[in-house]
A and B are shown apart, each in its own frame.
Chain A
Amino acid sequence: MAEAAFLELKGITKRFPGVVANDRVDFDLRRGEVHALLGENGAGKSTLMNTLYGLYHPEEGEIRLNGKPVRIGSPSDAIELGIGMVHQHFMLIPVMTVAENIVLAVEPRNGPFLDLAAAEKRVRDLSQRYGLAVDPGARIQRISVGQQQRVEILKALYRGAEILILDEPTAVLTPQEAHELFEIVRSLTEQGKSIIFITHKLNEVLEIADRITVLRQGKRIDTVPREGATQEGLARLMVGREVVLRVDKTPAEPAEPLLEVENLLVFDNRGLEACRGVSFQVRAGEIVGLAGVDGNGQTELIDALTGLRSPAAGHILVAQKDITGASARERLDLGVGHIPEDRQVRGLVLDFSLAENLALHDFRKEPDSKWGWLYPKRLIERAVRLLKEFDVRGGKPQTLAATLSGGNQQKVVVAREVSRDPKVLVAAQPTRGLDVGAIEFVHNRLVQERDEGRAILLVSLELEEILSLSDRILVIYEGRIVGEYGPDVSEEELGIAMTGGVRGKAA
């Protein structure tokens, strides 16, 4: 650690049409350290690392390795220099085996043929050396996301990487898998590898990093050692102002049940049972968190609640009224609000203006329209009011939704759903991909809506979010509710339940 930096990025500037993604950014890396690159979405973290990896070419600045300037024109240049990158979205071929994926393009050969035995042996050696347990003969499509990530890391190591760039590596992992990843990272650094860890999660940074560089709006704000760093301090550097990380809320005062789900059986697109008899209640004035690893029936449950998928059996009641057979439109009118999982696919029509997006549920009613005649001016009037109330920045009512940042897009969705005064609000991953400031806004708004007596079902893959917002926590595993917990449950306990080890009280 006392060693001087062997990789230096100096004054890197990268412009995109209309934005300076990196503005004279300095960054360095010492041998055997974990250097975290922290920043909000759009701060320029990935741009900087894509520059180092040869995917982008900076307009200004230089990269020095071991004191010598180097030019990295493409990822193959980067690999040659010992730089490996694990992208957020894995670049693996699902039908091929672990070993085949790892040796791809640098295969050991036996004459003109691939020497599979040699490949598997090399992979096994590597995985033992760094403590990355994988089965070289398994097909990628059959192994878990966490294991796929290990394959990506092994792929980089196989190509001789001394520097590993991990781009938001925990985004796709369960808490346990994240712990295992941190173990791997530690074992890698012990053996002299250096890691650049891109993230926007403060707790991870404090757990794993030796040094932390904070980027904000394309500029390097500061580089600090982990010792002495606090979540609050880092958040302030990231956002540029004081941020309240803890959600301030009073204990819930639940009243009558507004959402009742009874024995719901839902099939997924392949015709398999995704929800196998799910039952629960959400009462007025409480936030119920639904925790679970992705793909355990959450999506199908949400679809069934919002009328986009009809359940095969069971009932859904909103304020004692059976809505099981009601259409999406009828449910909207009966008071079911929904902040969808993916705002760009379901939440918004990106090519519509903000005013049109805000009218998506109500354009058929007065005052938006009458006898099929639309009143664009009235849509705009509403938009002016809502954009102000929900502090949407960067857009007028006539602006296309596509041009807003993710956080502001989400505010538009929240504004539309909340302003219709729903009885039940289903919030699916409401802060996915948002930065700290926007998360703060959405969280506070959800608590505020709870206090106004709405029943809120929060579906999230982020345990931190579930824990900080929920008044009650349900865990879904393989289409069943396997546990119910109070708000004080530990992350570990939830993590165990999420992976099938039931400990809590079965609902």
Chain B
Amino acid sequence: MAETPEATPGGFSGLTGFYERAGGFIVPFAATVLAFVIGGLVVAITGHNPFAAYKAIFNGTGLNWFFPWVQGDDRTHAAVNLEQTLIIMTPLMLTALAVAFAFRCGLFNIGGQGQYWVGFIAAIWIGTHMSGLSRPVHVLLAILAAIVAGAIWGGIAGILKAAVGAHEVISTIMLNWIAIYGGQYLFEPNGPLQGPIPALPRSSIIDGSAKLWPIWKMEGVIQVLHAGIFIALFALVVYYILLNRTTLGYEVRAVGFNPEAARYGGISVARNYFLALAISGAFAGLAGGVDLLGYKFSVDTSDFATNQVGFTGIAVALLGRNKPLGIMFAALLFAGLQTGTSTRALDPTIFSPSLATDLATIIQALVIFFVGAEVLIFFIWRARRHLRFRGAGAQA
């Protein structure tokens, strides 16, 4: 047997394992900081003051609401922006969980977007076809429908993987398109679920009894923060417990880390692939349900083409390292970037919002790039040390 003098045996997994132990938050944090620094350089090159721009974006997120010295009109503004940030953060946490759970089983679920939409559509159907139910029952029913629909959508990819070995990346991407085009078909004029206005490619608005409870009502605010954020936070807890406190989670993690050892230990790998993708789909379906019942209340066919919440969820999971708290902060970051640079929230005299949206995209891309390049950073680090030793050797 070869000797492995390194303190981190086990090749690549040993390397990442070392990182986990070294404090999993360092790299995502450094990646974020680095992304903001480079984004700041871009701002400086375009002739703006990066500090002023970042301050304006920060204020645009509404997070300044937490500062006690922000008062009066500023405070009202901040509150409006903060509500928006939290509304956007809610589904991101859930679609990130959809990626994270599959990932812990060694699968890459890119189907969050499609699973989101089928959950969304299932909730629309319940929200528009079950009049007369009491509010808790109606809401619960719609949410369950969203979860089940998402689970089925993810489960299809899982069955394909388990039965014939179809790669989940391919099948979930295809299922995304089926969900997107299928959704457009349902709500376009003369579509089976089109709303009451014949010319509009839009669904009906769900019954009031199916709407999630608003939790932060303010005057003049159209999109009010809703109870969905509690559902998403609760889902983070469920995710943690499911993985770490149940035999199901034990199996999923065993398969994710080492399918061969799991199989040898009597765990059915195929069954866990199916379950992991179905549960992932349930999280993404829940995201769709919560968005609809919380603040969207209906859907326009154009939404299907523009909405990216499932894909952003991949980035959130990556940055959050598939950990509940990590996902929470990563979702806040991505949601904040989105609201902070929106036309409505950003002060146009400091930084043009159209530029700022691009800046937000740049920063998001850089964050993902750096987190993804983590191993690269590690190697650069090692190579640097290596060169230093060689240099020292040459002088000796």
Mask, B1-44, CB within 8 Å of A = 1, is: 11111111110011001000100000000000000000000000
Chain A residues lying within 8 Å of B220, measured Cβ to Cβ, are: none
A470: interface (CB < 8 Å): no
Query: B6: nearest residue on chain A (CB-CB)?
Result: A16
Residues of B within 8 A of A345 (CB): 258, 260-261
Interface centre among B5, B257, B264, B266, by most chain A C-beta atoms within 10 angstroms, is B5
Return the contact of A402 from the options B10, B254, B260, B263 (Cβ within 8 A).
Answer: B10
**Additional A-B contact list (13), CB under 8 Å, known A330-B266, A402-B8:** A21-B5, A46-B3, A47-B3, A73-B390, A89-B2, A328-B264, A350-B257, A351-B17, A352-B253, A363-B250, A364-B247, A372-B246, A374-B246
- Pick from A350, A374, A400, A432: contact of B258, CB under 8 Å: A350
A344 close to chain B: CB less than 8 A: yes
Min CB distance, A446 to chain B, in Å? Answer: 20
Within 8 Å of chain B (Cβ to Cβ): is A329? Answer: yes
Closest to A89 in B: B2
Q: B266 contacts A329, CB within 8 Å?
A: yes
Distance in angstroms between the alpha carbons of A499 and B51 in the assembled complex:
77
Scoring B253, B265, B386, B393 by chain A CB atoms within 10 A of each residue's CB, the highest score goes to B265
Instruction: Tell me the complex Cα distance, A78–B390, Å.
Output: 16
Residue of A18, A45, A57 touching B389 (CB-CB under 8 A):
A57
Contacts of B21 in A (CB 8 A): 400
A372, B275: Cα distance in complex, Å? 14
Chain B 38-89 interface residues, beta-carbon cutoff 8 Å to A: none
- B: contact size bracket: 35 or more
Q: Which of A36-44, A125-133, A266-274 contacts B (4 or more CB under 8 A)?
A: A36-44
Residue of B nearest to A405 (CB): B9
How long is the Cα–Cα vector from A406 to B9 in the complex, in angstroms? Answer: 10
Chain B residues with Cβ below 8 Å from A347 are 261, 264
Question: Can you list 11 A-B contacts with CB-CB less than 8 angstroms, sorted by A residue number?
Answer: A43-B3, A47-B5, A59-B392, A73-B390, A168-B1, A340-B264, A347-B264, A350-B13, A356-B254, A363-B247, A406-B1
**Complex Cα gap A73–B392 (Å):** 12
Q: Complex: how many Å from CA A330 to CA B268? A: 12
B254 near A360 (CB under 8 angstroms)? yes
Contact code string A341-357 (vs B, CB < 8 Å = 1, else 0): 00011111111100010
Q: How far is the CB of A272 from chain B (nearest CB, A)?
A: 22
Q: Which A2-56 residues sit within 8 Å CB-CB of chain B?
A: 14, 16-19, 21, 41-47
Collect the chain A residues with CB atoms within 8 Å of residue B246's CB.
369, 372-374
CB pair B247 A402 closer than 8 Å:
no
CA distance A363 to B254 in the complex (A): 11
The residue of chain B having its C-beta at the shortest distance from the C-beta of A218 within the complex is B5
- Minimum distance in angstroms from B241 CB to a CB of chain A: 9
- Given the known inter-chain contacts A352-B254, A372-B248, please indicate yes or no for A71 contacting B266, CB distance below 8 A: no
**A176 interface hit (Cβ, 8 Å):** no
**Given A352-B253, A374-B249, residue A360 in contact with residue B6 (CB < 8 A):** no
A57 close to B7 (CB less than 8 A): no
Instruction: Report the interface size class on chain A.
Output: 35 or more
B335-349 with Cβ < 8 A to chain A: none
The contact string, 1 if C-beta is below 8 Å from chain A, for chain B 154-172, is 0000000000000000000
Q: Which residues of A contact B2 (CB under 8 A)?
A: 46, 88-89
Residue B131 lies at the interface, judged by CB distance under 8 Å to chain A: no
On chain A, the residues within 8 Å of B262 by CB distance are 349
Known: A328-B264, A349-B262. A376 touches B245 (CB 8 A): yes
A351–B8 Cα gap in the complex (Å)?
Answer: 12
Interface check B394, CB cutoff 8 A? yes
Given A57-B393, A376-B244 in contact, is the A308-B14 Cβ separation under 8 Å?
Answer: no
Q: Is the CB of A374 within 8 A of B250?
A: yes
**Interchain CA distance A356-B257 in the complex, whole Å:** 12
B258: chain A residues within 8 A (beta carbon): 345, 348-351
Residues from chain A with Cβ under 8 Å of B10 in the complex: 344, 350, 402
Q: How far is the CB of A63 from chain B (nearest CB, A)?
A: 11
Say whether B17 contacts A400, CB under 8 Å: yes
Q: Is the CB of A328 within 8 A of B266?
A: yes
A372 to B105, CA, bound (A): 18
Once the chains bind, are A42 and B5 in contact (CB under 8 Å)? yes
A16-B5, A59-B389, A71-B394 are contacts. A348–B261 as well, Cβ < 8 Å?
yes
- Chain A residues, Cβ within 8 Å of B264: 306, 308, 328, 338, 340, 346-347
A14, B3: Cα distance in complex, Å? 14
Bitwise interface map of A from 390 to 409 toward B, beta carbon under 8 Å scored 1, else 0: 00000000001011001000
Q: Which of B4, B247, B249, B263 contacts A308 (CB 8 A)?
A: B263
Chain B contact residues: over half helix, strand or loop, or mixed?
helix
Q: Is A361 part of the binding interface, using a Cβ–Cβ cutoff of 8 Å?
A: yes
**A275 → chain B, closest Cβ, in Å?**
19
In the bound complex, do residue B393 and residue A356 qualify as a contact, i.e. CB atoms below 8 Å apart?
Answer: no
Cβ of A199 to closest chain B Cβ, rounded Å: 12
A419 within 8 A of B: no
Residue of B245, B266, B392 with highest tally of chain A CB at under 10 A = B266
Question: Nearest chain-B residue to A404 (Cβ)?
Answer: B9
Closest to B386 in A: A57
Q: Which residues of B contact A373 (CB under 8 A)?
A: 245-247
Question: Does chain B have a CB within 8 A of A327?
Answer: yes
Q: Report B-chain residues with C-beta under 8 Å of the C-beta of A59.
A: 389, 392
Residue of B248, B257, B393 touching A352 (CB-CB under 8 A): B257
Q: In whole angstroms, what is the CA distance A58 to B390 when docked?
A: 9
Please report the C-alpha to C-alpha distance between residue A340 and residue B260 in the assembled complex, in whole angstroms: 11
A-B pairs, 9 with minimum CB distance: A329-B266, A433-B1, A18-B7, A21-B5, A360-B265, A351-B257, A46-B3, A402-B10, A349-B258
Q: Check A19/B7 contact, CB under 8 A, given A332-B266, A352-B253.
A: yes
- Give the Cβ gap from A461 to chain B, nearest Cβ, in Å: 13
**Chain B hits for A363, CB < 8 A:** 247, 250
Do A432 and B1 touch (CB < 8 A)? yes
What 1/0 flags go to A268-287 for Cβ under 8 Å of B? 00000000000000000000
Q: Contacts A41-B1, A346-B264, A360-B261 hold; do A17 and B245 have CB atoms under 8 A apart?
A: no
Q: Is the Cβ of B266 less than 8 Å from the Cβ of A350?
A: no
Is A44 a contact of B245 with CB atoms below 8 Å? Answer: no
Q: Cα distance A372–B10 when bound, in Å?
A: 31
Find out whether the CB atom of A41 lies under 8 angstroms from the CB atom of B13.
Answer: no
A16 to B257, CA, bound (A): 26
Cα–Cα, bound, A385→B321 (Å): 33
Q: Mark B374-396, 1 if CB is under 8 A from A, else 0.
A: 00000000000010011011100
A402 touches B14 (CB 8 A): yes
Contact B5 A44 (CB under 8 A): yes
**By the criterion CB–CB under 8 Å, are A57 and B254 in contact?**
no
Write out the residue numbers on chain A whose beta carbons fall within 8 Å of the beta carbon of B17. 350-351, 400, 402-403
Is there contact, CB below 8 Å, between B7 and A16? Answer: yes
Q: In the complex, what residues of A have CB within 8 A of residue B13's CB? A: 350-351, 402
Known: A57-B393, A71-B394, A350-B13. A361 touches B265 (CB 8 A): yes
Residue of A nearest to B264 (CB): A346
User: Could you tell me the distance between the alpha carbons of A352 and B251 in the complex, rounded to whole angstroms?
Assistant: 11
Q: State whether A372 touches B247 (Cβ < 8 A).
A: yes
Q: Which residues of B contact A364 (CB under 8 A)?
A: 247
- Nearest CB of B to A300, in Å: 15
Q: Give the residues in chain B near A327, CB-CB below 8 Å.
A: 266
A346 adjacent to B260 (CB under 8 Å): yes
Whether A350 contacts B14 in the complex (CB less than 8 A), given A42-B5, A360-B254, A374-B250, comes out as: yes
- The residue of chain B having its C-beta at the shortest distance from the C-beta of A402 within the complex is B10
A residues near B249, Cβ cutoff 8 Å? 374
Residues of B within 8 A of A349 (CB): 253-254, 257-258, 261-262
